[in-house]
Structure 1
Amino acid sequence: MSQTKSCRGVTRVLAKLEESVRSGKYYEAHQKYRTLYFRYLSQKRFDECLELLYDGSLRLLENDQYSSGADLGLLVVDTLEKTTVNDSEFWIHRLGKLLGKIPSNLVERETLLVKSVKWSSEISKNKIGHPTGHPTMHKVIAQLMWSEGNLEQARHHFLLSKDGNGCGQMLIELSQTKGYPKEIDLFIAQVVLQQLCLKEITSAAETFHTYIKFHPKISRTDPPFVMPLLNFVFFLLKIIESRKLAIFKKLCELYKPSLDRDPSYEKYLEKIGVIFFGAPTPPQRANNGIFGDLINQLFQGLEEEDDDENPTSSSVEADLD
Structure 2
Amino acid sequence: MPAVSSPSSRALNAILPLVASGQPYEAHQKARTFASRYNKSRQYDTAIDVLFQSARELLKVGQQGSGTDLTLFLLDVYESKGEVVNDESRGRLTQLIALTGSSGSWRKTIIDRSIAWSAKHGDCPAGDQDMHHYIGELLYKDGAFNIAEPHFLASGKRDSARLLADMMVEWSAAGGAPGIFALRGTLPYLQNGNILAARTFIFQFISQLISSRPNIRSPLQTSPLPVTPTSEITHTKEPLLNFCQLAVLTCQRANRDKNQAIRESWVRLCGTYQSKGGVLATREVRAVLQEIATLYFAIPPPRTQPDNPFGAMLSSMMGGGPPGGGAPVRRLLSPAGPSTPGLD
TM-score, with length taken from structure 2: 0.76
Task: Report the AA paired with residue 297 of structure 1.
Answer: S
1:182-217 Cα offsets, whole Å, 9 max, x none, are x11221123201111121211111111111112222
Q: Comparing both chains, which one has the higher relative contact order based on Cα–Cα distances under 8 Å and sequence gaps of 6 or more?
A: 2
In structure 2, what is the equivalent of residue 79 of structure 1?
77
In structure 1, what is the equivalent of residue 220 of structure 2?
none
1:75-118 Cα offsets, whole Å, 9 max, x none, are 22112222355762333233122122224342332221111010
Task: Report the AA paired with residue 227 of structure 1.
Answer: E
Give secondary structure in 1 for the equivalent of 2:135: helix
Task: Report the AA paired with residue 206 of structure 2.
Answer: I
Shift of 1:303: 4.5
Tell me, yes or no, if the aligned pair for 1:165 and 1:210 is still in contact at 8 Å.
yes
**Rounded Cα–Cα distance in structure 1 between residues aligned with 2:8 and 2:88:** 26
In structure 1, what is the equivalent of residue 25 of structure 2?
27
**Rounded Cα–Cα distance in structure 1 between residues aligned with 2:18 and 2:128:** 37
TM-score, with length taken from structure 1: 0.81
In structure 2, what is the equivalent of residue 161 of structure 1?
155
Shift of 1:44: 2.6
Correspondent of 1:104 among 102, 105, 122: 102
Are the structure 2 counterparts of residues 259 and 50 from structure 1 closer, same or farther at C-alpha, using a change threshold of 3 Å? farther
In structure 2, what is the equivalent of residue 118 of structure 1?
116
Correspondent of 2:287 among 250, 256, 267: 267
Identity %: 27
Tell me, yes or no, if the aligned pair for 1:185 and 1:227 is still in contact at 8 Å.
yes
**Rounded Cα–Cα distance in structure 1 between residues aligned with 2:9 and 2:254:** 65
In structure 2, what is the equivalent of residue 3 of structure 1?
none
In structure 2, what is the equivalent of residue 250 of structure 1?
268
**Rounded Cα–Cα distance in structure 1 between residues aligned with 2:113 and 2:139:** 17
In structure 2, what is the equivalent of residue 294 of structure 1?
313
Tell me, yes or no, if the aligned pair for 2:100 and 2:107 is still in contact at 8 Å.
yes
Task: Report the AA paired with residue 66 of structure 1.
Answer: Q
Correspondent of 1:41 among 39, 42, 47: 39
**Rounded Cα–Cα distance in structure 2 between residues aligned with 1:195 and 1:259:** 23
1:129-144 alignment, distance < 5 Å: 130-144=124-138
Shift of 1:48: 2.6
Are the structure 2 counterparts of residues 256 and 284 from structure 1 closer, same or farther at C-alpha, using a change threshold of 3 Å? closer
Task: Report the AA paired with residue 158 of structure 1.
Answer: F
Higher deviation after alignment, 241-250 or 87-96: 87-96
1:174-253 alignment, distance < 5 Å: 174-177=171-174, 179-180=175-176, 183-215=177-209, 216-217=212-213, 218-219=216-217, 222-240=233-251, 241-243=253-255, 244-253=262-271
Number of residue equivalences: 292
Correspondent of 1:93 among 91, 94, 103: 91
CA RMSD of aligned residues (A): 2.8
Higher deviation after alignment, 205-214 or 39-48: 39-48
Higher deviation after alignment, 100-109 or 159-168: 100-109
The answer to whether structure 1 residue 17 and structure 2 residue 15 are counterparts is yes
Tell me, yes or no, if the aligned pair for 1:89 and 1:136 is still in contact at 8 Å.
no
Are the structure 2 counterparts of residues 259 and 37 from structure 1 closer, same or farther at C-alpha, using a change threshold of 3 Å? farther
Give secondary structure in 2 for the equivalent of 1:242: coil
Shift of 1:252: 0.8
Are the structure 2 counterparts of residues 15 and 91 from structure 1 closer, same or farther at C-alpha, using a change threshold of 3 Å? closer
Task: Report the AA paired with residue 254 of structure 2.
Answer: S
Q: Where does structure 1 lack aligned partners over 5 or more consecutive residues?
A: 1-8, 307-321
**Rounded Cα–Cα distance in structure 2 between residues aligned with 1:254 and 1:17:** 67
Shift of 1:259: 5.9
Tell me, yes or no, if the aligned pair for 2:15 and 2:54 is still in contact at 8 Å.
no
Are the structure 2 counterparts of residues 93 and 208 from structure 1 closer, same or farther at C-alpha, using a change threshold of 3 Å? farther
Tell me, yes or no, if the aligned pair for 1:198 and 1:298 is still in contact at 8 Å.
no
